[in-house]
Amino acid sequence: MNGNMSFIDYSIIAIYIFIVLVIGFYWRRRTRNSEEYFLAGRKVGWIAIGASLFATNISSEHFLGLAGTGSKSGLAVGHFEWLACLILLLLGWVFAPFYIRSGVFTMPEFLERRYNSASRYYLSIVSIIGYILTKISISLYAGGILLNAVVGWDMYTSAIVIVLITGLYTILGGLSAVIYTDLFQMFVLIIGSVALTLIGLHQAGGWANLVANTPPDFWSMFKPITHPDFPWTGIVFGAPILGLWYWCTDQYIVQRVLSAKNLHNAQSGTIFAGFLKILPVFILVLPGIIAYQLSNGQVTGDKAYPWLVTNLLPTGLRGLVVAGLLAALMSSLSAMVNSTSTLVTIDIYKKIKPDADEKSVVRFGRLTTGLMVVLGLLWIPFIGLLSDDRMYVYLQSVQAYISPPIAAIFLLGLFWKRVNGKGAITALLTGFVLGTIRLVLEINNKITPLENEFLRFIASINFLHYAIILFVVSISILVIVSLLTEKPSEKQLEGLIFDRNKISEKNKWRIVNIVMSFVLVIVLFSLWWIFR
């Protein structure tokens, strides 16, 4: 089933890889200092920012996980995609003004200015470890599974080859190479995914026939509170916490906004990305439902998307879809290793060697890029213990255990000047301990059911509900400790608190951004109403 790739298919894949490498090598000569290497010289326009935000976010685990979960639970998993539309607006209108005006390279650097150095080092270390354990390794693992199922390539060989190609242009060209290859890769992955979805819908007999021959609850995005993965309470109150951390505070995402030539381009880029984030429900989740219908319920989980590619697509289109898969994997992988390299270089290396020249900083960043990829490869064999054939849910659950305290200190840090560094680091460490306890208990409970009833309850509570609890605990600790200790100085807070900044620059395009933001919100809530 996976040996039907033709010469035309392989030619399309080869052309795609060639174009990506050409773009990457083009930017090699334009990275003369750390700002150009890590932030693309802060001169990126809104189209490239929006495309990069979208392409960076959509990786191989989305193809595998969204379609796989869609084949089991229907459209509900798409909540994470549509909630991102609203949170991207929050990033552009609320968070971006502070980040850009501060002139920081990294999110931990911003935390140091708002709180203290301990908060900076905590976020740097947790982010680096998190990228290796979740983002880098899962993307490679999912990409390997997809390429093995679709093309027949060995999973680990595929991962190594992809790492070499991606690493080559990322190491040489820095963030400029990452962003402008993302712009190209966005078109490739959208075109390939749309082609597969349309062919699948045709084979399923059209939309009406697909709906009629699948479980009715597949088309309801709001699930009962007892649903094991997506209870409406978790979606409404828990998922936004994960989204706030991911879209508004994670270096992996925010680095694109920091590269904007000005605030207008940053905000326009987030709005553009918000419109693009409407698509995954229809081009990634929907194919999973199509696979369920066409296979009479026999093909579900992580096998859904590969099954569609190998059974439905003709010569040429299969190569295009595989190129789309590679685009998703390579765009996210390049962003991950570049962001990790930025954190290690700016937050650790430059702290140890503050007098390092620009060439040394860029050289160290390139070396770090390669090291992070190697560490990600080493972690791949262990992911199977937690994935349980639901990769996207696994990724969201792990993030639910690390994100609430980070989201809490960023949110309160911008809107309330009384919270301080001691409260922040206490909340971060407490949240980390509670999140780690949950993760360890969950793993142990899957291997051997826990005997203690309370521990078994902690291990089995829905991950989104646990995120809510963790967020409330983190905010409570942040507030209590801050009120019991000294308040930050006015000088430290200058330019870092909501009431000390204007939300947006005045320019002729501001009204356009406001109108398009309202249009996005209207479209989004209309879709939620349709699929309620």
Bridge partner list, 260 = 44
The pLDDT confidence band at residue 397, using thresholds 50, 70 and 90, is: confident
What amino acid occupies position 408?
A
Stated pTM of the model: 0.91
pLDDT at 476: 98
pLDDT at 1: 45
CA angle at residue 247 from 246 to 248, to 5 degrees? Answer: 100
Residue 187 included in any domain: yes
Cα gap 174→475, rounded to integer Å: 36
pLDDT at 261: 93
pLDDT at 501: 47
Query: How many domains would you assign to the chain?
Result: 1
Comparing CA positions, the residue from 264, 171, 321 lying closest to residue 505 is 264
Sort 81 into a burial class: Cβ within 10 Å, 0-12 / 13-18 / 19+. Answer: buried
64 close to 391: Cβ distance less than 8 angstroms: yes
181 close to 24: Cβ distance less than 8 angstroms: yes
Residue 267 included in any domain: yes
Comparing CA positions, the residue from 62, 93, 273 lying closest to residue 183 is 273
Cα gap 234→238, rounded to integer Å: 5
For CA atoms 305, 309, 313, 316, give the dihedral sign. Answer: positive
State the CB neighbour count (10 A cutoff) for residue 336: 29
Residue 287 included in any domain: yes
**Residue where the block lists tokens 């402008």:** 180
The mean pLDDT value for 189-217 works out to: 94
Residue 2 included in any domain: no
Range from 46-50, 201-205, 457-461, 477-481 carrying the lowest mean pLDDT: 457-461
Residue 306 included in any domain: yes
What amino acid occupies position 433?
V
Q: Give residue-wise pLDDT tens across range 488-532.
A: 988 888 888 876 445 555 667 889 999 999 999 999 999 999 998
Instruction: Tell whether the model's pLDDT for residue 180 goes beyond 70.
Output: yes
Instruction: Tell whether the model's pLDDT for residue 359 goes beyond 70.
Output: yes
Cα gap 456→372, rounded to integer Å: 35
Q: What CATH number did the domain enclosing 285 receive?
A: 1.20.1730.10
**Residue where the block lists tokens 């740097």:** 124
Residue 1 included in any domain: no
Higher pLDDT, 371 or 110: 110
pLDDT at 19: 92
Cα gap 96→168, rounded to integer Å: 30
373 close to 160: Cβ distance less than 8 angstroms: no
**Residue where the block lists tokens 């249009």:** 519
Long-range contacts for 486-490 (Cβ within 8 Å, ≥24 apart)? 486/420, 487/417, 487/418, 487/420, 488/417, 488/418, 488/419, 488/420, 488/421
**Which DSSP string corresponds to 9-73?**
HHHHHHHHHHHHHHHHHHGGGG--SHHHHHHGGG-B-HHHHHHHHHHHH--HHHHHHHHHHHHHH
Residue 497 included in any domain: yes
**pLDDT > 70 in the chain, percent:** 94
Instruction: Tell whether the model's pLDDT for residue 50 goes beyond 80.
Output: yes
Tokens standing for residue 91: 């990033």
What is the overall mean pLDDT for the chain?
88
What amino acid occupies position 116?
N
Bridge partner list, 1 = none
pLDDT at 168: 83
pLDDT at 376: 66
Please name the residues in contact with 320: beta carbons below 8 A apart, sequence gap of 6 or more.
12, 188, 191, 192, 195
Classify 105 as helix, strand or coil.
Answer: coil
Higher pLDDT, 191 or 156: 191
Helix axes 391-415, 358-387, angle to 10 degrees: 130
Query: Which residue range forms the structural domain that includes residue 172?
Result: 7-530
35 close to 41: Cβ distance less than 8 angstroms: yes
**Residue where the block lists tokens 């680091």:** 425
